[in-house]
Chains A and B, each alone.
Chain A
Amino acid sequence: MRDFIKQYKKNKSAVLGFFIVVLLIFMAIFAPWIAPHLPADQDLVHRLTPPMWEEGGLHQFFLGTDDFGRDLFSRIIYGARISLMVGAISVGMSLSFGLTMGMLAAYFGGKVDLFIMRIVDIMLSIPAILLAIVVVSILGPSLTNAMIAIGIVGIPTYARVVRASVLTEREKEYVIASRINGSSNMRLMFKVILPNAATPIIVQSTMGFASAVLEAAGLSFLGLGAQPPTPEWGAMLSDSLQFITTAPWMIFYPGLAIFLTVLGFNLMGDGLMDVLDPKLKDK
């Protein structure tokens, strides 16, 4: 572990990514204490107020307000909760299904493998955002359905990563030894093989978190994810379109929040890849 931290610290961009992610988690947990206003609080007198440092800005609205007079800074802080929730739930969903599918395919091989990987190939043959839109159009637009859609879209990638990783472990001696000792299939799969095959899965989950946040923001931007007045960053950007000439701050900051979050997770994923398995980077 100490080695891991030492190695990780050497990679400056990975450290930057880590700090961004920690900051995001901090914002999400302590949102009610950090945010000066509630995210849905409207102050119609002060609608479209520019950021504090611009002419006409007010100190109580640090990053300005939107068309309903809602404090942008507070909405962005609360938005961190939604992004983290979307990331965690959809990655959790993709991971649990993808892990099971990939594990079964690699462990049992043969027809099971062929069948599962065919489904995976079909899912991968449709671009992610398109598949997500299809799922949302079936279920109806909402944040929950967007999370489900993103969760489903991620399944094949995890299944492939898990399969590849398990395949290399399956024939190793410690697995054979455990099998001879009488371990059941379940034990072999999840207790013996999984911990040793976890590295690429961890890296993929970190990167997957970034794409989940990005896809959720995209769906909300299209009006197919979070609905108003939810302080979701993508939805906030979608609202800002018509104010591009009069209130450009409505564009800058929610987008910056999405960008930094995605960048943070990507940097962290890149760093983890470097430290945990440098060979992966070449693939």
Chain B
Amino acid sequence: MFSYILKRLIWTIPTLIGVTIMVFSMVHLAPGDPAVAMLGEKANPQSVKELREQMGLDKPLYTQYYIYMKNVLHGDFGRSANSYEPVWSEFSDRFPATLELASMAMIIATILGVLAGIISAIKRYSIFDYTSMFGALAGVSMPVFWLGLLLIYFFSVKLGWLPVSGRLGYEFDIEHVTGLYLIDSLIAHDYEAFWDAFKHLILPAIALGTIPMAIIARMTRSSMIEVMKEEYIKTARAKGCSRFQVVAIHALRNALMPVVTIIGLMLGSLFAGSILTETTFSWPGIGKWLVNAVYQRDFPVIQSATLIIASMFILINLVVDLLYAVINPKIRLR
């Protein structure tokens, strides 16, 4: 197993380097002078020259890459071309919002997806099975932003139950400890703020969680069906275990292994999926930050946001793979 882990770790390095090269090349691949692109066509030549020097664009490409990598490895992602704030501080301000949204989406997706999958597998070919599996296919085909708009229309505009956008009502002011409002409001014992933050979170989390939920439901179902055919399930039945015991203790534990992997892998893509959801719900996270940067052609932000999201995605996948290797003897013993 050690060689597997080592191999997997080593393979991550060229991937990460590849991503940095791609992100670094972005500025150079864009048509025209990046300094002009940032300052606008009408900028005076002196400020363009200064910006070029500041960005190191007057140096050879390999030197630029070397400087870029050195800075990145020291945690210096440059400054936003728009706000002149350090990119890292802008990122860390927004990251908790995305983390909170993605985590809630994953919780909803996992609970509902696994439940639907189990019931579908036990009651195979029943109406519930057909409905939930068709629902799962529909969920995969659902544009997240459209679902978001429908949720806003029905639950916010029509019924007035939940807020339309944002993270917290203006009347609340909670101290930022973790940046996760649900936790911060609990720390501050401000239960009204907690309830308000929860109400803001629920619609975007449902919108973002729909596709993972559909995938988890399908995966759980097929995995359960597979496991229920195993000999040890027959043995458990023959021994006189109740239906609940068979499903919950014998089958589920084994069926959930591939599901856990897929959940881990989807965590990374949720950060990317949040780009559309955050735009729909004006959720102040990294997805919306990235989209705004694209509108403003703020390359330092686009580069860093891409690099950070992609690295997170790669590292989460790495951790999931390694954990899977630890859990699964087939890989462990290879």
CB atoms of B290 and A122 under 8 A apart: no
A133 to B138, CA, bound (A): 25
Name which residue of chain B comes closest to A265, CB basis: B141
CB atoms of A130 and B310 under 8 A apart: yes
Name which residue of chain B comes closest to A238, CB basis: B145
Name which residue of chain B comes closest to A219, CB basis: B276
CB atoms of A140 and B31 under 8 A apart: yes
Interface string of B134-166 (1 = CB under 8 A from A): 100110111111100110110001000000100
CB atoms of B143 and A222 under 8 A apart: no
Surface stretch bound by A, among B14-22, B73-81, B184-192: B14-22
Which residues of A (131-170) have their CB < 8 Å from a CB of B?
Answer: 133-134, 136-141
Determine the interface band of chain B, counting residues with CB < 8 A from chain A.
35 or more
Q: Please, which residues of chain B bring their CB within 8 A of the CB of A63?
A: none
CB atoms of A122 and B19 under 8 A apart: yes
CB atoms of A133 and B134 under 8 A apart: no
What secondary structure prevails in chain B residues at the interface with A? helix
Judge whether A112 is part of the interface by a CB distance below 8 angstroms. no
CB atoms of B309 and A127 under 8 A apart: yes
A218 to B302, CA, bound (A): 18
A8 to B145, CA, bound (A): 32
Surface stretch bound by B, among A42-50, A92-100, A198-206, A256-264: A256-264
Most buried by A among B26, B149, B273, B297: B149
Interface string of B1-35 (1 = CB under 8 A from A): 00000000001001100110011001001110000
Judge whether A181 is part of the interface by a CB distance below 8 angstroms. no
What secondary structure prevails in chain A residues at the interface with B? helix
Name which residue of chain B comes closest to A254, CB basis: B146
User: Which residue of the partner chain, among A125, A129, A137, A240, contacts B149 with CB atoms under 8 Å?
Assistant: A240
A-B contact count (CB 8 A): 135
Surface stretch bound by B, among A30-38, A103-111, A183-191, A243-251: A243-251
- Quote the shortest CB–CB distance from A24 to chain B (angstroms): 13
- Quote the shortest CB–CB distance from B289 to chain A (angstroms): 12
Q: Please, which residues of chain A bring their CB within 8 A of the CB of B143?
A: 214, 217-218, 221, 234, 237, 255, 258-259, 262
Q: Please, which residues of chain A bring their CB within 8 A of the CB of B272?
A: 127-130
A188 to B152, CA, bound (A): 56
CB atoms of A255 and B295 under 8 A apart: no
A258 to B141, CA, bound (A): 9
Name which residue of chain B comes closest to A264, CB basis: B141
Q: Please, which residues of chain A bring their CB within 8 A of the CB of B141?
A: 210, 214, 259, 262-263, 266
Judge whether A69 is part of the interface by a CB distance below 8 angstroms. no
Judge whether A13 is part of the interface by a CB distance below 8 angstroms. yes
Judge whether A77 is part of the interface by a CB distance below 8 angstroms. no
Residues of A within 8 A of B (CB): 13, 118-119, 121-122, 125-130, 133-134, 136-141, 210, 214, 217-218, 221-224, 234, 237, 240-241, 244-245, 248, 251-252, 255-256, 258-259, 262-263, 266-267, 270, 282
Given contacts A118-B18, A133-B294, 16 further A-B contacts (CB under 8 A): A13-B137, A118-B15, A122-B15, A125-B18, A125-B310, A129-B275, A133-B290, A133-B306, A137-B294, A137-B297, A214-B143, A218-B145, A224-B291, A252-B150, A263-B138, A267-B137
